Structure 1
Amino acid sequence: MEVFSNNKIPLLFLVLLATLTTLAQGQGTRIGFYQTSCPRVEAIVQSAVAAADRANAGVPPGLVRMFFHDCFVNGCDASILLNGPSTERTAPPNSLLRGFEIIDAAKTELERVCPGVVSCADILAIAARDSVLLAGGIARWAVPLGRRDGLVSRAADTANLPAFNDAVDVQIRKFAEKGLNTQDLVTLSGAHTIGTAACALFSYRLYNFNNTNGPDPSINQAFLPTLRNLCPNGGDGSRRVALDTGSQNRFDNSYYANLRNRRGVLESDQVLWSNPTTQRLVQRFLGVRGLLGLTFNVEFARSMVRMGNIEVKTGTQGEIRRVCSAIN
């Protein structure tokens, strides 16, 4: 993780910080929320995430995905962390989520240092940011804090999570319902530059796409044998494959190059290249000549802040949980 000295902070980072500070105003969260009540909060969370990452490189994508799945269901309120019958984490879209123990470890230490102060929702938001840093993303962005923890977690509420086989118009609608635009969709999909997917989520594209007894024609024919070798027909559906071939542990824009080259693994990713609006945004992340470019790391940070303010609970709403897996 790159660290900047005080006299060498890039101008781009200063502009980003100012922009994100502006975005955070009026959303119920704010930068520096725990400055006096728990000043070590970010250092404690960072330490827990870094320790887990040293043991398992799969930690960063797991925590980013967990944050996404939390925010898209009843807002960013740590409802994904509640454990029990028929809670969100028992639903099929969340069955493979990883990293709950990392949030628990950070919460245990924070309860020792600042009991009853820091919400599990804020811990998850910080952990997602730190995961991007550990994977080589932008040096740092300020996370607006002040969320409170929700009291409800229902598996049924996960039905409208963006799915691995959603068409572009469906994805756009689901994001719009959460106050996010099409650029946020393309930007946040870029989180798939790190991590893996189970064969069960895309093997239908390799052998019997839309009941044709053939592969998805949008897959690069030169890439098809690679995927079929990794996911044999009728094989182990739990086997995992890199979402960003050749760069699965590095947070960069190569995910978008794979979409252009028809090497997207999930259908919901590859269809971003088939739609004129989303394709143009993919091209902008790739710096295509003639288009106003977008810097992936900067835009990802902006979209993470926007997503992190979805339907947040603040003030006297919800509670500050003592343990993240159960309401008080």
Structure 2
Amino acid sequence: METRRVILSIAVSSLFVFSFVDGLSFNFYAASCPSAEFIIRDIVTSSSSNDPSIPGKLLRLVFHDCFVEGCDASLMLIGNNTEQTDPGNRSVGGYSVIESAKKVLEMLCPETVSCADIIALAARDAVGIAGGPMVQIPTGRRDGMVSLASNVRPNIVDTSFTMDEMVKLFTSKGLSVLDLVILSGAHTIGVAHCNAFRGRFQEDTKGRFTLIDKTLDSNYAVELMKQCPVSAMASATVNNDPETPMVFDNQYYRNLLVHKGLFQSDSALLNENSTRTMVKDFANNQELFFVNWSQAFLKLTSVGVKTGNEGEIRRTCASTNA
């Protein structure tokens, strides 16, 4: 109970600190494009109805954008050696949803709403659509001008990372260990390609996988090997959450406690007493997870933002205005 109070206290105290960070503000488009957030939510909702995988894709998209160059839509830029070309980003999806929203907004409010804000708001809406909390986030982000593949790997979490590696990376983004545990809960929805967790298995002489990572539940490992045999195509995927894959809930933490975290980086959260305690608290109390998610997501979408005269408002998300 004491740990829950501490976590709640941290979440509530962070609300004021991060509400208007870096020049962002609530209702930023109230005068310039009052229907912006409604339009984005409507497009995310309709896209998710047609493709249930969209919420997970949009949530992953915001992580991969914000951790590289900050939340500035640098991941949306297309071209040689841009962030999209790095192998770590080739499986990221949801771009078409962002472009669809941008196209409508450009017709109604030309050169007003940034792609960076669309990404943040779309991810926010995706969580709400999937059953999670609807987070109020400030807007006013501007789009970046730089997108380099070489910036990707040093700035995104690899699924094989240890706790120390994850903490180091999150700290460099101004995010705490608590934020790390909370934001890892994003794995409660979405899918992963088989190669993202194959390091937990080894191919034997008969061309079959055997489990070598003993931190993974053996029965769950058998199911994963059925879905991802050695012969599986590169496009093959499995659900991040084997229990409620399309619902944003606290099942991710329950899975961890029974050793059904899909990635090595998931299982690593149980390796230290402090993070294991957080996992248990969130597994036992979904409301606690949702309250803390709201604040951690607010911090995530404030990482490295560009405001004022920085960057630009792109006319199309795939290219700069130059």
TM normalised by structure 1 equals: 0.89
**Mapping for residues 49-198 of structure 1, pairs under 5 Å:** 49-138=44-133, 140-160=134-154, 161-198=156-193
Q: Distance in 2 between matches of 1:46 and 1:319?
A: 23
Q: Distance in 2 between matches of 1:18 and 1:180?
A: 15
Contact 2:203/2:230 (<8 A) preserved: no
**C-alpha spacing 1:191/1:214, structure 2 compared with 1 (3 Å):** closer
Percent identity reads 38
The question of 1:285 aligning with 2:282 is answered yes
Q: Distance in 2 between matches of 1:249 and 1:273?
A: 24
Note the aligned Cα RMSD (angstroms). Answer: 2.0
**C-alpha spacing 1:208/1:214, structure 2 compared with 1 (3 Å):** farther
Contact 1:136/1:252 (<8 A) preserved: yes
Aligned AA for 1:137?
G
Aligned AA for 1:71?
C
**C-alpha spacing 1:173/1:321, structure 2 compared with 1 (3 Å):** same
The question of 1:297 aligning with 2:264 is answered no
Aligned AA for 1:313?
K
Q: Distance in 1 between matches of 2:124 and 2:231?
A: 37
**Mapping for residues 186-265 of structure 1, pairs under 5 Å:** 186-207=181-202, 214-265=211-262
Give the Å deviation of 1:294.
6.9
Contact 1:208/1:215 (<8 A) preserved: no
Q: Distance in 2 between matches of 1:53 and 1:214?
A: 35
Contact 1:206/1:227 (<8 A) preserved: no
Q: Which runs of 5 or more structure 2 residues have no equivalent in the other structure?
A: 1-10
Contact 1:287/1:294 (<8 A) preserved: no
**1:9 counterpart residue number:** none
Q: Which of the residues 247, 257, 269 maps onto 2:266? A: 269
Q: Distance in 1 between matches of 2:211 and 2:136?
A: 47
1:137-164 residue CA offsets vs partner (Å, 9 max, x unmatched): 11x2211100000000001000121111
SS of the residue 2:91 aligns to: coil
Contact 1:17/1:142 (<8 A) preserved: no
1:104-132 residue CA offsets vs partner (Å, 9 max, x unmatched): 11011111111111110001110000000
**C-alpha spacing 1:24/1:283, structure 2 compared with 1 (3 Å):** same
Contact 1:193/1:243 (<8 A) preserved: yes
Contact 2:201/2:210 (<8 A) preserved: no
Contact 2:22/2:307 (<8 A) preserved: no
Q: Distance in 2 between matches of 1:309 and 1:204?
A: 33
Q: Distance in 2 between matches of 1:168 and 1:18?
A: 26
Give the Å deviation of 1:20.
3.7
SS of the residue 2:181 aligns to: helix
TM normalised by structure 2 equals: 0.90
Contact 2:282/2:288 (<8 A) preserved: yes
Aligned AA for 1:221?
S
SS of the residue 1:241 aligns to: strand
How many residues align structurally?
Answer: 306
Q: Which runs of 5 or more structure 1 residues have no equivalent in the other structure?
A: 1-15
SS of the residue 1:207 aligns to: strand
**1:41 counterpart residue number:** 36
**C-alpha spacing 1:22/1:169, structure 2 compared with 1 (3 Å):** closer
Q: Distance in 1 between matches of 2:311 and 2:148?
A: 16
SS of the residue 1:272 aligns to: helix
Contact 2:211/2:221 (<8 A) preserved: no
